[in-house]
Structure 1
Amino acid sequence: MEFDALLLSRIQFAFTMSFHIIFPAFTIGLASWLVALEFQWLRTDNPLYRNLFLFWSKVFAVSFGLGVVSGIVMSFQLGTNWSRYAEFGGNILGPLIQYEVITAFFLEAAFLGIMLFGWDRVGNQLHFFATCMVALGTLISAFWILSANSWMQTPAGFRVENGVAVPEDWFAIIFNPSFPFRYAHMVMGCYLTTAFAVSGMSAWMILRRREEPAEKLRGAQRSMSMALWFAAICAPIQIVIGDLHGLGVLEYQPTKLAAIEGNWERQGHMPLRLFAIPDEEAEMNHYEIGIPEIGSWILTHAYHGVVPGLKDVPREERPPVWPVFFAFRGMVAIGFAMLALGIWSLVMRWKGTLFTNPWFLRATVLMTPAGFGAVLLGWFTAEIGRQPYIIYGHLKTADAVSPVTAGAVTTSLTAFVIVYTFLFGFGSYYLAKILRRGPEPVEEALRGGDAERPDRMPKRPLSGSNEALEGQPGQRAHPAM
């Protein structure tokens, strides 16, 4: 393998993208999580939700900042390392990225400060509106980014003129064939990433502090309970979305599907391959383990449905099979582990041991990074699976690289590794400090914080705490759980 400018540029882009995507995957879901917490605060007046909002907003602020910093280099690489790609697709991809900046980034920037620092100045309703706008901004940002990426997967609505893509139908470009299910799949993946991260972090807090009074664990318990409800409901929905998305891959990117399944020959009775070692030289699989017949039914929704094979196209038109095959199976395995933990949480909830079963709590902690892993593996499947094309069927990756030297790319890649390691290390350390402290108990927050600062009190009575209700007959405390 020769480490030329093309391979090094691909490694650099894969590194920076993999580092960057974990932060939007978390903050997209976390922004909606903050909306849910603040809505519960406004609905119930329970100060527990306000404390949780303040705690998780700190985590959001750090993650959002790291996402912005790590994402800045993405657009610059298009000009430095992939100038021919920018030249071919710039008339389409440039406006899509610009729409993301104008509609999403400006919206987030306008309301983020109010959400993080303005609660005492704007009142509850306007603050809640700001939180909703930040969450909406993250979803709009995902909309445009996924539209641009999906167009690279299933390009539509354009013509090629003098070697350059020229837009003809913007509706067809934006809502290209793979976009609807890819967008739904990604957003649901972000929500599940947040659900398992929040539940895992909360379970870790409970395990660390289980010898402390129950009052100090209420915040972690409530976070864990809400997150696991979401996981139990949405994990099966994500599996259904993924199945529907697979039908689109079968129709529009059959070679990618053949690589995902390690299927060499076109066939109508394909087994469901659970494991194999693909051999690209011999065009066969070693040590294959599968369930006969049902692969065709799962992939095509027809018992005798025909599944394309890698041999349908020349070798130079095939993606690398090994990474696509195993990345997809890793993603699916994590998805079913999410489903299993969601079902387990329902059993624990029914038994009344959701917060006391040590095996379940440890399993929840172990699943903390599951969403990040699933998102990365899914991204690897999608991006490596469309090779050798960067714009599927129109521009090959080898033809898109800039005329740069391997030495220049090596230098920039080394610099990125050093800087990103420092940023990730510092951000992780600071997040660990926040999580180690955990959300403040309601009683301590009232005694040592807002209760002594009338200017910082919310504009509604804190009726969710017994201490807050002393001397206020006629009001009732909401249960902590």
Structure 2
Amino acid sequence: MAGLDALDLARLQFAFTVSAHIIFPAFTIGLASWLAVLNGAWLWRRDEAHLRLFEQWKTIFAVIFGMGVVSGLTMSYQFGTNWSVFSDRTGPVIGPLMGYEVLSAFFLEAGFLGIMLFGRKRVGEGLHFVATCVVAVGTLFSAFWILSVNSWMQTPQGHAIAENGQFVPEDWWAIIFNPSFPYRLVHMVLAAYLTTAFVVGAAGAWHLMRTPDSRGARIMFSMAMWMALLVAPLQIVAGDTHGLNTLEHQPAKIAAMEGHFESYPEGRAPLILFGLPDMEAAEVHARIAVPLLGSLILTHHTDVPLEGLDAFPRADWPNVEIVFWSFRLMVAIGFAMAAIGLWSAWARWRGRLYTDRWLHRAAFVMGPSGFLAVLAGWVTTEVGRQPWTVYGLLRTEESVSAVDASAVGMSLIAFVVVYAALFGAGTFYALRLMSHRPRDRVEIDEAGPHRAAGPAAIADELGAGETGRNG
């Protein structure tokens, strides 16, 4: 890591840890809601296939939820070590918001998670369903508060700046519901649902290719494809409205995303599909562009003026090379998801949803696409905000702690090693659970609530023992 100063290493460390963390909540938000749907379907229709899927996927949820909690703990560590100036300046605003997330979201998730995992035969099916719904609501509350924090950093309002430089709350309503928050919240929740849908769809496709008559595999694949068909187009619309909001409040970010180094005072901006951005030369080399389409997408008109990066000081430019390509990756995956949804609708209409092997192969390949889209979206959001931690008010270089580069570098190496071992093992185990075919039956607990406790009993309750037998 020679040649990198403490600021560069601190940014790399935060980028690595937040990227490793965000993929877990992106999965658990959607998975918790899907588990609630499965549980409700079991109570309504008494179709044991839904209960079998619930019992299998709740184990996966527990594994992913645990990794999400562990990976989230390191974020507060970094705020105190690498970003102490940022923490001090923004603490009066961000501190209470993070506290609300713990009190209203994490307490709900942690408090009812045990009932969801172990309580079906102990508290009754009705209360167990309520607990599952509460866990799902808790994940959404968590997204609410975290997105509120991040959105305030993107579009800050509702505060004053004290003499010591701290951001002091004046209007909590304005802070929480800042201008970009509703758009970011909808965009992220839909992304989480799509992420889960394509993981579940990939698992269903995998099992359909091996056992085409599997009832559980058919339910997984059918439900996932319905979600892709309905939600992917909604996500495209949500992304468009989010882009309009970003153009209003962060025009430099939009200019970097679109590769617009020059302004278009009369509108008529092209849509640059591909090219090689060059920040030093302030142009996009070898670009492939569609005339007028950039203005139509960004403003829904052709004659509205558009600011390029030349309208801003060069010191305020985000890294165009990164933002330009991360944005295109996110959009490409979004349209691919919509295409899979349409393909599945065509196959369903023709009665080939469970026999179209090419559709199953495509859905299997698209399994990790949601994670890639989420990561690309967050890279676009966070790198596009640079060089600010609080947009327009607090620069990143002013937010870092007075720490040695060697100390940050060593902690970054430690994070990489520990994360690779811990989360690599956890991810491998979750994938193993997904690869096991859905169970043919649900074990009936003859001992009832008085069954002896212990590691073997807990493993069986989580489904590990039964899953292993069916592998």
TM-score by length of 1: 0.91
Alpha-carbon distance in 2 for matches of 1:208, 1:5: 51
Q: Paired residue for 1:37? A: 38
- Equivalent residue of 1:302, what SS? coil
Q: Paired residue for 2:446? A: 453
String of CA shifts for 1:284-304, please: whole Å, max 9, x gaps.
110110110121011011121
Alpha-carbon distance in 2 for matches of 1:106, 1:85: 27
In structure 2, the gaps of 5 or more residues are: 450-471
User: Which amino acid is the alignment partner of residue 161 of structure 1?
Assistant: A
Alpha-carbon distance in 1 for matches of 2:330, 2:249: 21
Is the Cα–Cα contact under 8 Å of residues 297 and 305 in structure 1 kept in the other structure? no
User: Which amino acid is the alignment partner of residue 266 of structure 1?
Assistant: S
User: Which amino acid is the alignment partner of residue 208 of structure 1?
Assistant: R
Q: Paired residue for 1:336? A: 335
- Equivalent residue of 1:120, what SS? coil
* Runs (4+) off by over 6 Å: none
Alpha-carbon distance in 2 for matches of 1:305, 1:124: 58
Listed as ranges, the matches of 1:179-258 within 5 Å are 179-210=181-212, 214=213, 217-258=214-255
Alpha-carbon distance in 2 for matches of 1:43, 1:62: 28
- Equivalent residue of 2:36, what SS? helix
**Deviation for aligned residue 1:417:** 0.5
String of CA shifts for 1:193-243, please: whole Å, max 9, x gaps.
000110011111222334xxx2xx110111110111011001000100100
String of CA shifts for 1:158-213, please: whole Å, max 9, x gaps.
01112111110000000000000100000000000000110011111222334xxx
Is the Cα–Cα contact under 8 Å of residues 269 and 302 in structure 2 kept in the other structure? no
**Deviation for aligned residue 1:454:** 7.1
**Deviation for aligned residue 1:12:** 0.4
Q: Paired residue for 2:256? A: 259
Listed as ranges, the matches of 1:61-460 within 5 Å are 61-162=62-163, 163-210=165-212, 214=213, 217-267=214-264, 268-442=267-441, 445=442, 449-450=443-444, 453=446, 455=448
- Equivalent residue of 1:36, what SS? helix
User: Which amino acid is the alignment partner of residue 448 of structure 2?
Assistant: D
RMSD between superposed Cα atoms in Å: 1.1
User: Which amino acid is the alignment partner of residue 380 of structure 1?
Assistant: V
Is the Cα–Cα contact under 8 Å of residues 203 and 435 in structure 2 kept in the other structure? no
Alpha-carbon distance in 2 for matches of 1:187, 1:436: 26
Q: Paired residue for 1:18? A: 19
User: Which amino acid is the alignment partner of residue 183 of structure 2?
Assistant: F
Q: Paired residue for 1:479? A: none
Alpha-carbon distance in 2 for matches of 1:205, 1:423: 27
Alpha-carbon distance in 2 for matches of 1:128, 1:295: 48
Alpha-carbon distance in 1 for matches of 2:49, 2:6: 54
Alpha-carbon distance in 2 for matches of 1:221, 1:308: 50
String of CA shifts for 1:226-278, please: whole Å, max 9, x gaps.
11101100100010010000011110000000000000111111011111111
- Higher mean C-alpha displacement, 222-231 vs 333-342: 222-231
Alpha-carbon distance in 2 for matches of 1:329, 1:206: 32
Alpha-carbon distance in 1 for matches of 2:428, 2:331: 31
Alpha-carbon distance in 2 for matches of 1:439, 1:420: 30
String of CA shifts for 1:17-67, please: whole Å, max 9, x gaps.
000000000000000000110111011011111111101101100000010
Percent identity among equivalent residues? 55
Is the Cα–Cα contact under 8 Å of residues 329 and 376 in structure 2 kept in the other structure? yes
**Deviation for aligned residue 1:3:** 0.4
Alpha-carbon distance in 1 for matches of 2:105, 2:14: 23
- Equivalent residue of 1:335, what SS? helix
- Equivalent residue of 1:439, what SS? coil
String of CA shifts for 1:395-425, please: whole Å, max 9, x gaps.
0001100000010001100100010000122
Is the Cα–Cα contact under 8 Å of residues 57 and 116 in structure 1 kept in the other structure? yes
**Deviation for aligned residue 1:95:** 0.3
- Equivalent residue of 1:402, what SS? coil
TM-score by length of 2: 0.93
Q: How many residues align?
A: 445
Alpha-carbon distance in 1 for matches of 2:431, 2:308: 47
Q: Paired residue for 1:464? A: none
Alpha-carbon distance in 1 for matches of 2:288, 2:432: 45
Q: Paired residue for 1:467? A: none
Does residue 3 of structure 2 align to residue 2 of structure 1? yes
String of CA shifts for 1:124-169, please: whole Å, max 9, x gaps.
1100000010000000000000000000000000011121111100
**Deviation for aligned residue 1:326:** 0.4
**Deviation for aligned residue 1:356:** 1.2
- Equivalent residue of 2:122, what SS? helix
Alpha-carbon distance in 2 for matches of 1:298, 1:425: 40
Alpha-carbon distance in 2 for matches of 1:441, 1:307: 59
**Deviation for aligned residue 1:435:** 1.7
Q: Paired residue for 2:467? A: none
**Deviation for aligned residue 1:355:** 1.4
- Higher mean C-alpha displacement, 272-281 vs 171-180: 272-281
Alpha-carbon distance in 2 for matches of 1:153, 1:315: 19
